[in-house]
Each structure stands twice: as C-alpha cells, then as structure tokens.
Structure 1
Amino acid sequence: MNIEQWWPNLKPATQAWLIDNNGDAVPEGLAAEIAEAGGPAASDARQGGDDEPPGFYFPDEVVDWIEAVGNGETPEPPLPR
C-alpha cells in the first residue's frame, strides 16, 4: 500500500510528528501505528546507516512525500519498490 493510501489512517498527532521529525528514526509506538494503518512494518523499513542510530527509517521517496505534505503541496505518490 502506498503512503497516500495509509497516511489518512494515521492520527493527526502522528502525522504532525512525522512532518516535524521527517527523516528521523520513527519511535516503535508510531511504527506500530503506521503498520496498523497499512504502512510498512518496521522490518520493511530501511535500517540506520553507519552515522545514524538504529531504528525504523522511511525510504528517501517517502521522506520526500512527507516533506511535500508538510509544505502544503500535493505530492506525487512514491514509485513502488
């Protein structure tokens, strides 16, 4: 399921956190809510690199999508992987 399909299923507070902390590791509780909403499970997300703490990270195209939403734009859906 693409982000534009599961994003509306998130709590407004979760959407706000993701916009405000875009690109950061997503806390476990929010990752669980994202998975319940139809988003990727923590096991499907990329893991932190050498200079990042371990955790749940969205791929770059999802980070770009969230950034566009945060800027009040209507983003194109990310391409399936």
Structure 2
Amino acid sequence: MNVENWWPLLNSSTRQWLIDNNGDVVPPNILDQIEAVAGPLTPEAPWVAGDDTEEFLLSDQAIDWIEEAANAEGSAED
C-alpha cells in the first residue's frame, strides 16, 4: 500500500507527528499505527527506506509525499 492510500486512514495526531518530524526516525508507537492501517512492514513497500531493524525510516518518496501533503493542508487553511 502506498503512503497516499494509508495517510487518510491515520488519526490526525499521527499525521501531525509525521509532518512535524518528517525525515526523522519513526518511533515504534507511530510505526505501529502506520502498520495498523497499511499492513505489515515489508522491505518491498514503497514507503519503507530499507530493512534496518534498529531504526525505522520512511523512504525518500514517502518523505517527499508527506511534505507535499503538509503544504497542501497548510494552504487549504489559508
């Protein structure tokens, strides 16, 4: 599942954390929430940056998508 598919399924506080910390290591509680809507974490998922088991990072593609979504949401409030 792509980020654009699971993004609207996340609760607003999780989306806000991802916007505020875009590109940072994703903590287990946030990753659990993503997996609850996107399905199990697999290295093949386009939003996964690799298979480092100690720290989870979103892919560059997902980071860019979240930045665009954040900018679009911000402009909708203006």
Residue ranges of structure 1 left out of the alignment (5+ in a row): 49-53, 74-81
Give the equivalent residue in structure 1 for 2:62. 62
TM-score (norm 2): 0.75
Amino acid aligned to 2:61:
E
Q: Is residue 29 of structure 1 aligned with residue 37 of structure 2? A: no
Amino acid aligned to 1:32:
D
Give the equivalent residue in structure 1 for 2:20. 20
Cα deviation code 1:12-69 (max 9, x no counterpart) = 000000001000000101101101111562x533239xxxxx4110110110000101
Residue ranges of structure 2 left out of the alignment (5+ in a row): 74-78
- Give the 3 Å change call, closer, same or farther, for CA 40–57 of structure 1 in structure 2: farther
Amino acid aligned to 1:56:
F
Q: Which runs of 4+ in 1 moved over 3 A?
A: none
Give the equivalent residue in structure 2 for 1:7. 7
RMSD: 2.0
- Give the 3 Å change call, closer, same or farther, for CA 23–40 of structure 1 in structure 2: farther
For residues 8 and 64 of structure 1, what CA distance do their matches in structure 2 show?
Answer: 16
Amino acid aligned to 1:71:
N
- Give the 3 Å change call, closer, same or farther, for CA 40–4 of structure 1 in structure 2: farther
